[in-house]
Structure 1
Amino acid sequence: MSLSRAAVLRSAPFAAFMVLLALRGAAPADGAWGFDTRWLYALNLVVVGGMLLWWRREYGELARQNLPTAREAAAAVGIGALVCVAWVLLDAPWMQIGEASAPFRPLDADGQLAWPLIAVRWLGATLVVPVMEELFWRSFLMRWIERPVFEGVDPRQVGVRAIVLSTFVFVLVHPLWLAAIVAGLAYALLYRATGKLWTAVIAHAVTNGALGVYVVATRQWGFW
Protein backbone atom coordinates (compact mmCIF):
# COMPACT_ATOMS: atom_id res chain seq x y z
CA MET A 1 0.00 0.00 0.00
CA SER A 2 1.46 3.36 -1.02
CA LEU A 3 1.00 6.45 1.11
CA SER A 4 -0.14 9.74 -0.31
CA ARG A 5 2.17 12.75 -0.25
CA ALA A 6 0.06 14.22 2.57
CA ALA A 7 0.59 11.05 4.62
CA VAL A 8 4.33 11.02 3.96
CA LEU A 9 4.76 14.67 4.95
CA ARG A 10 2.99 14.02 8.25
CA SER A 11 4.89 10.80 8.93
CA ALA A 12 8.43 11.75 7.89
CA PRO A 13 9.16 14.21 10.75
CA PHE A 14 7.87 11.65 13.25
CA ALA A 15 10.02 8.93 11.69
CA ALA A 16 13.07 11.20 11.85
CA PHE A 17 12.35 11.91 15.51
CA MET A 18 12.16 8.20 16.30
CA VAL A 19 15.45 7.53 14.49
CA LEU A 20 17.12 10.29 16.48
CA LEU A 21 15.58 8.89 19.67
CA ALA A 22 17.09 5.48 18.90
CA LEU A 23 20.44 7.13 18.19
CA ARG A 24 20.38 8.92 21.53
CA GLY A 25 19.40 5.72 23.28
CA ALA A 26 22.35 3.89 21.76
CA ALA A 27 24.86 6.69 22.36
CA PRO A 28 27.38 6.10 25.18
CA ALA A 29 27.40 8.50 28.10
CA ASP A 30 31.11 8.07 28.84
CA GLY A 31 32.45 10.33 26.09
CA ALA A 32 33.52 7.40 23.90
CA TRP A 33 32.20 9.26 20.84
CA GLY A 34 34.38 12.26 21.62
CA PHE A 35 31.58 14.63 22.64
CA ASP A 36 28.73 14.99 25.11
CA THR A 37 26.07 12.85 23.43
CA ARG A 38 23.29 14.67 25.28
CA TRP A 39 23.74 17.34 22.60
CA LEU A 40 22.32 14.89 20.08
CA TYR A 41 18.93 16.15 21.22
CA ALA A 42 19.72 19.39 19.38
CA LEU A 43 19.36 17.44 16.13
CA ASN A 44 15.62 17.41 16.76
CA LEU A 45 15.58 21.18 16.44
CA VAL A 46 17.64 21.08 13.26
CA VAL A 47 16.32 17.97 11.50
CA VAL A 48 12.73 17.60 12.67
CA GLY A 49 12.17 21.32 13.08
CA GLY A 50 13.71 21.90 9.66
CA MET A 51 11.39 19.38 8.03
CA LEU A 52 8.35 20.99 9.60
CA LEU A 53 9.43 24.44 8.44
CA TRP A 54 10.28 23.24 4.92
CA TRP A 55 6.87 21.64 4.45
CA ARG A 56 4.86 24.15 6.49
CA ARG A 57 2.84 25.35 3.49
CA GLU A 58 1.62 21.80 2.88
CA TYR A 59 0.08 21.48 6.33
CA GLY A 60 -3.25 23.08 5.55
CA GLU A 61 -4.62 22.38 9.01
CA LEU A 62 -1.97 24.72 10.41
CA ALA A 63 -2.73 27.57 8.02
CA ARG A 64 -3.60 30.97 9.46
CA GLN A 65 -7.29 30.61 8.66
CA ASN A 66 -7.42 27.54 10.91
CA LEU A 67 -6.13 29.30 14.01
CA PRO A 68 -8.36 28.79 17.07
CA THR A 69 -10.59 31.44 18.54
CA ALA A 70 -9.61 33.00 21.85
CA ARG A 71 -12.06 30.72 23.64
CA GLU A 72 -10.72 27.61 21.91
CA ALA A 73 -7.13 28.61 22.67
CA ALA A 74 -7.98 29.21 26.33
CA ALA A 75 -9.61 25.78 26.54
CA ALA A 76 -6.52 24.23 24.95
CA VAL A 77 -4.25 25.91 27.49
CA GLY A 78 -6.41 24.70 30.37
CA ILE A 79 -6.56 21.14 29.07
CA GLY A 80 -2.82 21.13 28.45
CA ALA A 81 -2.18 22.22 32.05
CA LEU A 82 -4.50 19.52 33.41
CA VAL A 83 -2.75 16.86 31.32
CA CYS A 84 0.59 18.01 32.78
CA VAL A 85 -0.77 17.54 36.29
CA ALA A 86 -2.07 14.10 35.36
CA TRP A 87 1.30 13.17 33.83
CA VAL A 88 3.09 14.00 37.08
CA LEU A 89 0.57 12.20 39.30
CA LEU A 90 0.15 9.04 37.22
CA ASP A 91 3.68 7.73 37.71
CA ALA A 92 3.24 4.75 40.04
CA PRO A 93 5.32 1.69 39.06
CA TRP A 94 2.27 -0.20 37.77
CA MET A 95 1.46 2.76 35.52
CA GLN A 96 4.75 2.38 33.62
CA ILE A 97 5.85 0.20 30.71
CA GLY A 98 9.63 -0.12 30.78
CA GLU A 99 11.85 2.94 30.99
CA ALA A 100 12.66 5.89 28.78
CA SER A 101 14.93 4.78 25.92
CA ALA A 102 17.01 7.96 26.05
CA PRO A 103 17.03 9.45 29.58
CA PHE A 104 18.12 13.08 29.79
CA ARG A 105 19.91 14.54 32.82
CA PRO A 106 21.14 18.09 32.10
CA LEU A 107 23.72 18.32 34.87
CA ASP A 108 27.38 19.26 34.61
CA ALA A 109 30.29 17.43 36.25
CA ASP A 110 29.64 19.26 39.53
CA GLY A 111 25.97 18.31 39.58
CA GLN A 112 24.85 21.82 38.64
CA LEU A 113 22.15 22.55 36.09
CA ALA A 114 23.52 22.80 32.54
CA TRP A 115 21.27 25.57 31.24
CA PRO A 116 22.24 25.34 27.54
CA LEU A 117 21.23 21.67 27.55
CA ILE A 118 18.04 22.51 29.42
CA ALA A 119 17.17 25.21 26.88
CA VAL A 120 17.67 22.85 23.93
CA ARG A 121 15.60 20.11 25.57
CA TRP A 122 12.80 22.46 26.60
CA LEU A 123 12.58 24.18 23.22
CA GLY A 124 12.46 20.85 21.42
CA ALA A 125 9.78 19.45 23.72
CA THR A 126 7.67 22.61 23.69
CA LEU A 127 7.95 23.90 20.11
CA VAL A 128 8.91 20.97 17.88
CA VAL A 129 7.44 17.84 19.46
CA PRO A 130 3.82 19.09 19.77
CA VAL A 131 3.63 20.07 16.10
CA MET A 132 5.39 16.91 14.90
CA GLU A 133 3.34 14.55 17.06
CA GLU A 134 -0.06 16.15 16.45
CA LEU A 135 0.51 16.12 12.69
CA PHE A 136 1.28 12.41 12.90
CA TRP A 137 -0.97 11.03 15.65
CA ARG A 138 -4.07 13.14 15.21
CA SER A 139 -4.04 14.82 11.80
CA PHE A 140 -2.76 11.73 9.98
CA LEU A 141 -3.17 8.49 11.94
CA MET A 142 -6.48 9.17 13.67
CA ARG A 143 -8.13 10.37 10.45
CA TRP A 144 -6.44 7.64 8.39
CA ILE A 145 -7.95 4.97 10.63
CA GLU A 146 -11.32 6.58 10.02
CA ARG A 147 -10.74 6.56 6.26
CA PRO A 148 -7.50 5.91 4.34
CA VAL A 149 -8.07 8.95 2.11
CA PHE A 150 -7.71 10.96 5.28
CA GLU A 151 -7.23 14.42 3.80
CA GLY A 152 -10.99 14.77 3.30
CA VAL A 153 -11.94 13.56 6.78
CA ASP A 154 -13.47 16.27 8.97
CA PRO A 155 -11.95 15.71 12.44
CA ARG A 156 -15.33 16.57 13.95
CA GLN A 157 -16.74 13.44 12.29
CA VAL A 158 -14.06 11.00 13.49
CA GLY A 159 -15.56 8.02 15.32
CA VAL A 160 -14.75 6.29 18.59
CA ARG A 161 -12.82 3.48 16.86
CA ALA A 162 -10.31 5.87 15.27
CA ILE A 163 -9.85 7.82 18.51
CA VAL A 164 -9.30 4.68 20.59
CA LEU A 165 -6.96 2.92 18.14
CA SER A 166 -4.80 5.98 17.48
CA THR A 167 -4.56 6.61 21.22
CA PHE A 168 -3.59 2.97 21.80
CA VAL A 169 -0.66 3.29 19.39
CA PHE A 170 0.27 6.63 20.96
CA VAL A 171 0.47 4.89 24.34
CA LEU A 172 2.88 2.25 23.02
CA VAL A 173 5.69 4.81 22.59
CA HIS A 174 5.31 6.37 26.05
CA PRO A 175 6.55 4.56 29.20
CA LEU A 176 3.86 6.16 31.41
CA TRP A 177 0.99 4.32 29.76
CA LEU A 178 -1.88 5.61 31.90
CA ALA A 179 -0.73 9.21 31.63
CA ALA A 180 -0.36 8.69 27.89
CA ILE A 181 -3.95 7.45 27.66
CA VAL A 182 -5.15 10.61 29.39
CA ALA A 183 -3.00 12.82 27.16
CA GLY A 184 -3.86 11.02 23.91
CA LEU A 185 -7.59 11.10 24.56
CA ALA A 186 -7.49 14.73 25.70
CA TYR A 187 -5.69 15.93 22.57
CA ALA A 188 -7.81 13.75 20.27
CA LEU A 189 -11.12 14.87 21.78
CA LEU A 190 -10.03 18.51 21.72
CA TYR A 191 -9.18 18.18 18.02
CA ARG A 192 -12.50 16.48 17.37
CA ALA A 193 -14.50 19.05 19.33
CA THR A 194 -12.98 22.10 17.63
CA GLY A 195 -12.05 20.67 14.25
CA LYS A 196 -8.76 22.59 14.54
CA LEU A 197 -5.40 20.89 14.94
CA TRP A 198 -3.98 24.03 16.49
CA THR A 199 -5.95 23.37 19.68
CA ALA A 200 -4.30 19.97 20.10
CA VAL A 201 -0.89 21.47 19.32
CA ILE A 202 -1.37 24.25 21.88
CA ALA A 203 -2.55 21.82 24.57
CA HIS A 204 0.37 19.50 23.85
CA ALA A 205 2.83 22.42 23.95
CA VAL A 206 1.46 23.63 27.29
CA THR A 207 1.74 20.12 28.73
CA ASN A 208 5.33 19.69 27.59
CA GLY A 209 6.38 23.21 28.49
CA ALA A 210 4.90 23.07 31.99
CA LEU A 211 6.29 19.58 32.52
CA GLY A 212 9.75 20.82 31.55
CA VAL A 213 9.56 23.61 34.12
CA TYR A 214 8.45 21.09 36.76
CA VAL A 215 11.26 18.69 35.86
CA VAL A 216 13.95 21.36 36.17
CA ALA A 217 12.49 22.77 39.38
CA THR A 218 12.24 19.37 41.10
CA ARG A 219 15.00 17.53 39.23
CA GLN A 220 12.62 14.69 38.53
CA TRP A 221 14.55 13.71 35.38
CA GLY A 222 12.53 10.57 34.89
CA PHE A 223 9.78 12.66 33.26
CA TRP A 224 12.28 13.76 30.59
Structure 2
Amino acid sequence: MEPTLSAHDARASRLRLEQTDFWIRAQIVPFAVFMGFMLLLQIFGALFIWEHPAAPWWRHWPEQWVYPLQTVVTLVLLARLWKYYEFRWSWKWCAAGAIFGAVGIGVWLLPTVMYDRLGLTGETTGWQKWLGLAARTKGFNPAEAFGEGTPAFWAALVMRFVRAVVVVALVEEILWRSFMMRFVEDWEGDYWKRPFGRASWKSYLIVTGLFMLAHAPVDYPAAFVYGSLTYVLCIWSKSLGACVVMHGVANLLMGLFAVVYGKYGLW
Protein backbone atom coordinates (compact mmCIF):
# COMPACT_ATOMS: atom_id res chain seq x y z
CA MET A 1 0.00 0.00 0.00
CA GLU A 2 1.37 3.43 -0.96
CA PRO A 3 1.73 6.01 1.83
CA THR A 4 -0.70 8.90 1.71
CA LEU A 5 -0.48 12.41 3.11
CA SER A 6 -2.77 13.41 5.94
CA ALA A 7 -5.07 16.37 5.39
CA HIS A 8 -2.79 18.49 7.59
CA ASP A 9 0.36 17.46 5.68
CA ALA A 10 -1.32 18.07 2.33
CA ARG A 11 -2.43 21.52 3.44
CA ALA A 12 1.07 22.33 4.71
CA SER A 13 2.60 21.15 1.43
CA ARG A 14 0.17 23.27 -0.55
CA LEU A 15 0.97 26.32 1.56
CA ARG A 16 4.71 25.79 1.00
CA LEU A 17 4.15 25.61 -2.74
CA GLU A 18 2.06 28.78 -2.64
CA GLN A 19 4.72 30.59 -0.62
CA THR A 20 7.38 29.47 -3.10
CA ASP A 21 5.26 30.70 -5.99
CA PHE A 22 4.75 34.08 -4.28
CA TRP A 23 8.50 34.33 -3.57
CA ILE A 24 9.38 33.71 -7.23
CA ARG A 25 6.82 36.26 -8.42
CA ALA A 26 8.10 38.82 -5.94
CA GLN A 27 11.60 38.52 -7.41
CA ILE A 28 10.54 38.86 -11.05
CA VAL A 29 7.30 40.87 -11.30
CA PRO A 30 8.60 44.31 -10.15
CA PHE A 31 11.39 44.23 -12.74
CA ALA A 32 8.94 43.00 -15.41
CA VAL A 33 6.49 45.82 -14.60
CA PHE A 34 9.32 48.36 -14.63
CA MET A 35 10.44 47.15 -18.06
CA GLY A 36 6.83 47.12 -19.24
CA PHE A 37 6.75 50.88 -18.80
CA MET A 38 9.93 51.14 -20.88
CA LEU A 39 8.12 49.23 -23.62
CA LEU A 40 5.17 51.60 -23.25
CA LEU A 41 7.54 54.54 -23.71
CA GLN A 42 8.95 53.00 -26.89
CA ILE A 43 5.47 52.32 -28.30
CA PHE A 44 4.20 55.80 -27.43
CA GLY A 45 7.36 57.33 -28.84
CA ALA A 46 6.97 55.42 -32.09
CA LEU A 47 3.27 56.12 -32.57
CA PHE A 48 2.33 59.36 -30.82
CA ILE A 49 5.41 61.49 -30.22
CA TRP A 50 5.20 64.88 -31.91
CA GLU A 51 8.48 66.76 -32.07
CA HIS A 52 7.11 70.17 -32.93
CA PRO A 53 7.29 73.55 -31.11
CA ALA A 54 3.49 73.52 -30.82
CA ALA A 55 3.34 70.00 -29.38
CA PRO A 56 2.14 69.63 -25.75
CA TRP A 57 4.88 68.48 -23.39
CA TRP A 58 3.28 65.06 -22.82
CA ARG A 59 3.59 64.27 -26.54
CA HIS A 60 6.93 65.95 -27.16
CA TRP A 61 8.64 64.45 -24.09
CA PRO A 62 6.62 61.36 -23.09
CA GLU A 63 9.35 60.22 -20.68
CA GLN A 64 8.37 63.16 -18.46
CA TRP A 65 5.11 61.42 -17.57
CA VAL A 66 6.00 57.77 -18.18
CA TYR A 67 8.92 57.82 -15.71
CA PRO A 68 6.93 59.26 -12.76
CA LEU A 69 4.05 56.82 -13.42
CA GLN A 70 6.55 53.96 -13.66
CA THR A 71 8.13 55.05 -10.38
CA VAL A 72 4.88 55.21 -8.41
CA VAL A 73 3.45 51.94 -9.73
CA THR A 74 6.67 50.01 -9.12
CA LEU A 75 7.09 51.46 -5.62
CA VAL A 76 3.55 50.39 -4.68
CA LEU A 77 4.24 46.89 -6.01
CA LEU A 78 7.53 46.63 -4.09
CA ALA A 79 5.80 47.73 -0.89
CA ARG A 80 3.16 45.02 -1.28
CA LEU A 81 5.83 42.34 -1.83
CA TRP A 82 8.32 43.65 0.75
CA LYS A 83 8.01 40.65 3.12
CA TYR A 84 9.44 38.32 0.47
CA TYR A 85 12.82 40.10 0.27
CA GLU A 86 15.83 39.06 2.38
CA PHE A 87 17.72 42.34 2.67
CA ARG A 88 19.70 41.53 5.85
CA TRP A 89 20.47 45.19 6.48
CA SER A 90 23.78 45.86 8.21
CA TRP A 91 25.44 49.22 8.93
CA LYS A 92 28.85 47.70 8.23
CA TRP A 93 27.96 46.23 4.87
CA CYS A 94 25.75 49.15 3.83
CA ALA A 95 28.74 51.44 4.41
CA ALA A 96 30.84 49.06 2.33
CA GLY A 97 28.12 49.15 -0.33
CA ALA A 98 28.29 52.95 -0.43
CA ILE A 99 32.06 52.79 -1.02
CA PHE A 100 31.66 50.11 -3.70
CA GLY A 101 28.97 52.25 -5.35
CA ALA A 102 31.23 55.31 -5.45
CA VAL A 103 34.09 53.29 -6.95
CA GLY A 104 31.83 51.52 -9.43
CA ILE A 105 30.20 54.70 -10.71
CA GLY A 106 33.61 56.34 -10.93
CA VAL A 107 34.54 53.66 -13.45
CA TRP A 108 31.20 54.17 -15.23
CA LEU A 109 31.75 57.93 -15.58
CA LEU A 110 35.40 57.68 -16.60
CA PRO A 111 34.78 57.21 -20.37
CA THR A 112 32.76 60.42 -20.77
CA VAL A 113 35.27 62.33 -18.61
CA MET A 114 38.07 61.02 -20.87
CA TYR A 115 36.05 62.07 -23.92
CA ASP A 116 36.10 65.67 -22.68
CA ARG A 117 39.69 65.63 -21.45
CA LEU A 118 40.96 64.27 -24.77
CA GLY A 119 39.12 67.05 -26.61
CA LEU A 120 37.09 64.63 -28.72
CA THR A 121 34.09 65.74 -30.75
CA GLY A 122 31.30 63.90 -32.56
CA GLU A 123 31.02 60.12 -32.78
CA THR A 124 34.01 58.01 -31.77
CA THR A 125 35.34 54.98 -33.61
CA GLY A 126 37.70 52.09 -33.00
CA TRP A 127 39.07 51.58 -29.49
CA GLN A 128 37.52 54.87 -28.31
CA LYS A 129 34.04 53.65 -29.16
CA TRP A 130 34.76 50.21 -27.69
CA LEU A 131 35.74 51.83 -24.38
CA GLY A 132 32.53 53.87 -24.34
CA LEU A 133 34.06 57.29 -24.94
CA ALA A 134 31.13 59.54 -25.83
CA ALA A 135 29.76 63.02 -25.10
CA ARG A 136 26.60 61.69 -23.36
CA THR A 137 24.86 65.09 -23.49
CA LYS A 138 21.49 64.07 -24.96
CA GLY A 139 19.03 62.41 -22.61
CA PHE A 140 16.54 63.06 -19.82
CA ASN A 141 16.48 66.81 -19.23
CA PRO A 142 13.30 68.28 -17.66
CA ALA A 143 14.51 71.81 -18.44
CA GLU A 144 13.71 71.16 -22.11
CA ALA A 145 10.08 70.39 -21.29
CA PHE A 146 9.30 72.72 -18.39
CA GLY A 147 12.01 75.37 -18.25
CA GLU A 148 14.91 75.65 -15.81
CA GLY A 149 13.89 76.13 -12.18
CA THR A 150 10.11 75.90 -12.60
CA PRO A 151 8.01 73.86 -10.11
CA ALA A 152 7.39 71.26 -12.83
CA PHE A 153 11.14 71.07 -13.49
CA TRP A 154 11.91 70.34 -9.82
CA ALA A 155 9.06 67.85 -9.52
CA ALA A 156 10.29 65.95 -12.58
CA LEU A 157 13.89 66.03 -11.35
CA VAL A 158 12.97 64.75 -7.88
CA MET A 159 10.92 61.90 -9.33
CA ARG A 160 13.80 61.04 -11.65
CA PHE A 161 16.13 60.72 -8.67
CA VAL A 162 13.59 58.60 -6.77
CA ARG A 163 13.35 56.36 -9.81
CA ALA A 164 17.11 55.96 -10.17
CA VAL A 165 18.17 55.83 -6.52
CA VAL A 166 15.31 53.82 -5.02
CA VAL A 167 13.27 51.98 -7.66
CA VAL A 168 16.03 50.96 -10.07
CA ALA A 169 18.35 49.96 -7.22
CA LEU A 170 15.67 47.71 -5.71
CA VAL A 171 14.22 46.04 -8.81
CA GLU A 172 17.60 45.33 -10.40
CA GLU A 173 19.33 43.94 -7.32
CA ILE A 174 16.30 41.85 -6.37
CA LEU A 175 16.28 40.34 -9.86
CA TRP A 176 20.02 39.94 -10.46
CA ARG A 177 21.29 39.05 -6.97
CA SER A 178 18.33 37.58 -5.12
CA PHE A 179 16.78 35.65 -8.01
CA MET A 180 19.13 35.14 -10.96
CA MET A 181 22.23 34.19 -8.95
CA ARG A 182 20.19 31.34 -7.45
CA PHE A 183 18.24 30.47 -10.58
CA VAL A 184 21.23 29.97 -12.90
CA GLU A 185 22.83 27.58 -10.42
CA ASP A 186 19.93 25.18 -10.09
CA TRP A 187 17.07 26.21 -12.34
CA GLU A 188 15.52 22.73 -12.36
CA GLY A 189 15.74 22.28 -8.59
CA ASP A 190 14.91 24.13 -5.40
CA TYR A 191 16.98 27.19 -6.32
CA TRP A 192 14.91 29.46 -4.06
CA LYS A 193 16.30 27.55 -1.06
CA ARG A 194 19.91 28.29 -1.91
CA PRO A 195 21.68 30.67 0.51
CA PHE A 196 21.97 34.24 -0.72
CA GLY A 197 25.39 35.26 -2.01
CA ARG A 198 26.90 31.81 -2.60
CA ALA A 199 30.02 32.14 -4.76
CA SER A 200 30.07 30.44 -8.15
CA TRP A 201 31.92 31.13 -11.40
CA LYS A 202 28.78 30.10 -13.28
CA SER A 203 26.55 32.63 -11.53
CA TYR A 204 29.22 35.33 -11.79
CA LEU A 205 29.73 34.97 -15.53
CA ILE A 206 26.06 34.56 -16.47
CA VAL A 207 24.57 37.21 -14.19
CA THR A 208 27.32 39.76 -14.84
CA GLY A 209 27.04 39.11 -18.57
CA LEU A 210 23.26 39.57 -18.51
CA PHE A 211 23.61 42.72 -16.41
CA MET A 212 26.04 44.09 -18.98
CA LEU A 213 23.79 43.23 -21.94
CA ALA A 214 20.82 44.91 -20.24
CA HIS A 215 22.57 48.27 -20.74
CA ALA A 216 23.43 50.25 -23.84
CA PRO A 217 26.51 49.11 -25.81
CA VAL A 218 28.31 52.34 -24.92
CA ASP A 219 28.16 51.21 -21.27
CA TYR A 220 29.25 47.57 -21.78
CA PRO A 221 32.83 47.90 -20.41
CA ALA A 222 31.73 49.92 -17.40
CA ALA A 223 28.73 47.65 -16.77
CA PHE A 224 30.99 44.60 -16.72
CA VAL A 225 33.31 46.19 -14.16
CA TYR A 226 30.40 47.49 -12.09
CA GLY A 227 28.62 44.12 -12.21
CA SER A 228 31.82 42.38 -11.11
CA LEU A 229 32.18 44.72 -8.13
CA THR A 230 28.57 44.11 -7.14
CA TYR A 231 29.15 40.37 -7.33
CA VAL A 232 32.17 40.66 -5.03
CA LEU A 233 30.14 42.70 -2.53
CA CYS A 234 27.30 40.18 -2.73
CA ILE A 235 29.41 37.12 -1.90
CA TRP A 236 31.40 38.97 0.77
CA SER A 237 28.48 40.56 2.59
CA LYS A 238 25.73 37.99 2.00
CA SER A 239 23.50 41.07 2.17
CA LEU A 240 21.02 42.06 -0.51
CA GLY A 241 20.61 45.35 1.32
CA ALA A 242 24.30 46.18 0.81
CA CYS A 243 23.91 45.58 -2.93
CA VAL A 244 20.85 47.85 -3.02
CA VAL A 245 22.77 50.59 -1.18
CA MET A 246 25.66 50.21 -3.63
CA HIS A 247 23.31 50.62 -6.59
CA GLY A 248 21.46 53.52 -4.99
CA VAL A 249 24.64 55.45 -4.16
CA ALA A 250 26.02 54.82 -7.64
CA ASN A 251 22.84 56.11 -9.30
CA LEU A 252 22.68 59.11 -6.98
CA LEU A 253 26.22 60.14 -7.88
CA MET A 254 25.59 59.50 -11.57
CA GLY A 255 22.44 61.65 -11.49
CA LEU A 256 24.23 64.49 -9.75
CA PHE A 257 27.07 64.29 -12.27
CA ALA A 258 24.60 64.29 -15.17
CA VAL A 259 22.77 67.37 -13.89
CA VAL A 260 25.85 69.37 -12.87
CA TYR A 261 27.85 68.69 -16.04
CA GLY A 262 25.01 68.39 -18.56
CA LYS A 263 25.67 64.68 -19.20
CA TYR A 264 21.99 63.80 -19.51
CA GLY A 265 22.74 60.85 -21.76
CA LEU A 266 24.01 58.94 -18.73
CA TRP A 267 20.48 58.44 -17.42
TM range (shorter): 0.7 to 0.9
Change over 3 Å in CA distance of 1:158–1:4 after alignment to 2: farther
Q: Does the 8 A contact of 2:102 with 2:253 survive in 1? A: yes
* CA–CA separation in structure 2 for the residues paired with 1:203 and 1:145: 23
Aligned to 1:122: 161
Deviations 1:178-222 (CA, angstroms, capped at 9, x unpaired): 111112111122111111100100000000011111111011011
Matched, 1:193 2:222: no
Deviations 1:103-157 (CA, angstroms, capped at 9, x unpaired): 4222235863522211111111001110111000110011111122222212342
Aligned to 1:158: 199
Please, what TM-score do these two structures have when normalized by structure 1? 0.86
Aligned to 1:89: 110
Q: In structure 1, the residue corresponding to 2:143 is in which secondary structure?
A: coil
Q: In structure 2, the residue corresponding to 1:157 is in which secondary structure?
A: coil
* CA–CA separation in structure 1 for the residues paired with 2:197 and 2:139: 37
| Bigger Cα displacement from structure 2, 126-135 vs 83-92 | 83-92
Aligned to 1:24: 41
Say how many residue pairs are matched: 215
Question: Residue type matched to 1:209 in 2?
Answer: L
* CA–CA separation in structure 2 for the residues paired with 1:214 and 1:166: 27
* CA–CA separation in structure 2 for the residues paired with 1:183 and 1:138: 13
Q: Does the 8 A contact of 1:90 with 1:178 survive in 2? A: no
Aligned to 1:10: 27
Aligned to 2:101: 80
Structure 1, unpaired ranges of 5+: none
Q: Does the 8 A contact of 1:174 with 1:180 survive in 2? A: yes
Change over 3 Å in CA distance of 1:39–1:194 after alignment to 2: same
Aligned to 1:104: 140
Matched, 1:47 2:73: yes
Question: Residue type matched to 2:89 in 1?
Answer: L
Change over 3 Å in CA distance of 1:220–1:155 after alignment to 2: same
Change over 3 Å in CA distance of 1:29–1:15 after alignment to 2: farther
Aligned to 2:211: 170
Rg comparison, structure with higher value: 2
Please, what TM-score do these two structures have when normalized by structure 2? 0.73
* CA–CA separation in structure 2 for the residues paired with 1:218 and 1:181: 24
* CA–CA separation in structure 1 for the residues paired with 2:34 and 2:50: 20
Structure 2, unpaired ranges of 5+: 1-19, 113-127
* CA–CA separation in structure 2 for the residues paired with 1:103 and 1:180: 19
Aligned to 2:170: 131
Percent identity between the two aligned chains: 27
Change over 3 Å in CA distance of 1:193–1:109 after alignment to 2: closer
Aligned to 2:222: 179
1:22 deviation in Å? 1.9
Change over 3 Å in CA distance of 1:29–1:152 after alignment to 2: farther
Aligned to 2:258: 215
Aligned to 2:116: none
Aligned to 1:67: 89
* CA–CA separation in structure 2 for the residues paired with 1:29 and 1:170: 33
1:32 deviation in Å? 6.8
Change over 3 Å in CA distance of 1:110–1:50 after alignment to 2: closer
Aligned to 2:17: none
Change over 3 Å in CA distance of 1:8–1:116 after alignment to 2: same
Question: Residue type matched to 1:48 in 2?
Answer: T
